[in-house]
Structure 1
Amino acid sequence: MSAKGKDESLLQRIADMMAEGLETQTEPFPETEKEFGAILTELRQLPSDDLRSKLVISGFVDHPYGPEQQRCLECMYYLVHRKWCDLPELSVPVEPHWWCRLWRI
């Protein structure tokens, strides 16, 4: 399977988990670098293949979030042409209208 095919397969797996009602930790949103760093530390402690826990801890949702309707598309870690979250602790394919609490601009 090509890298693009693997990305699409993983993207579908993530979408399916969220569509099935995966409950994630959208709050508290990390307001400080210390809080942001604590979430990253928690993610680093996971086995690299523990996708479900990555999604739960990072607070992924399959829709825009918050009063400003933030979404991956506006996040500094989002790679538009690949539909990918480039934050090393996540490093997963994402749809532009999704969101997680590690969102940064």
Structure 2
Amino acid sequence: MDDDQMRERIGKLLADGLKTQTEPFPETAREFSRLLDELYRLPPDDLRGKLVLSGFTDTPYGPERMRCQECMYYLVHRKWCDLPELAVPVEADWWCRLWRI
């Protein structure tokens, strides 16, 4: 499956109402690391698990309307999340709780 097909698949899962864990947002480095550890323990092909655990949404999130496009892990030209524990194609207006500036 290429990146565009994977992005479409993720978009469909989210649009169809996949319930993800948007809270709690990891406020400290320790909380962030714990979440990364949980993601690391998932099987590499567990797309649903990654989306649920990382709290993906298909719309900007929170009062500041945070989105992937402003995240430090977002690769603009590839439309890709470069966080090794996720490493998935994403849309600019999506968000997850691993979002960082």
**Residue of structure 2 aligned with 1:46, choices 34, 42, 46:** 42
Give the share of equivalent positions with the same residue, in percent: 68
Counting matched residue pairs gives 101
Q: TM (normalized to structure 2)?
A: 0.99
Deviation readout 1:46-87 (Å, 9 max, x if unpaired): 000000000000000000001100000000000000000000
Regions of 4+ moved over 6 Å: none
Task: Give the alignment's Cα RMSD to 1 decimal.
Answer: 0.7
Q: Structure 2, unaligned stretches of length 5 or more?
A: none
Q: TM (normalized to structure 1)?
A: 0.95
Deviation readout 1:19-67 (Å, 9 max, x if unpaired): 1100000000000000000000000000000000000000000000011
- Match of residue 60 from structure 1: 56
Q: 1:30 aligns to what SS in structure 2?
A: coil
